[in-house]
Amino acid sequence: MLQIAIVTALLLTAVLFALVSSRAIDSADSRDEVARHLFLASFDGSGVAPSLLLEVFEALRRRVPQGVDVMRPADQLAATYGFTQEDAEDVVLLVAARSEGHLPTPSDLDRLGQQVRTVADLVRFLVPFCMPEPQPRILAQAS
């Protein structure tokens, strides 16, 4: 009888833990979805490809402090997020690698510290590296 009570208590604890964890995950997913939407909306009319903005959002989201729910274009990378030059370089390299463009050179990354202070600066810096490389045109052969 005691064993049944112990097993039942353990099962109830496991089910309660699963429910609480599931709600926490759903809540975090919901907050991320809202934050993603607000991030994209803040760049409306900028002409930046949504795919690039999503890559920047995902790369930043993993690195910003937990208390930051919404990332805005005017947010200072160092002051608001505590980013160092190396953090910004990591984000640039990650986003550029995931795009269909080309990776920045070391001299490009050296300019990063002078040109990039805010999230909007970061996006502008990334645009040329995240543009697809022009594909050579194959001329149709006349038969």
Of the given ranges (14-18, 20-24, 71-75), which has the lowest mean pLDDT?
Answer: 20-24
Residue in the block written with tokens 């805005």: 72
CA–CA gap between residue 45 and residue 42 (Å, rounded)? 9
Query: Number of folded domains in the chain?
Result: 1
pLDDT in tens, 29-39: 556 888 899 99
Compute the mean pLDDT over every residue in the chain, rounded to the nearest whole number: 82
In a domain, 136, yes or no: no
The conformational region for residue 47 under phi > 0 = left, psi -120 to 50 = alpha, else beta, is: left
Res 73: pLDDT:
95
Query: Average pLDDT of 12-21?
Result: 62
Question: N- to C-terminal Cα distance for the chain?
Answer: 88
Query: Average pLDDT of 67-79?
Result: 91
- Domain range spanning residue 60? 2-130
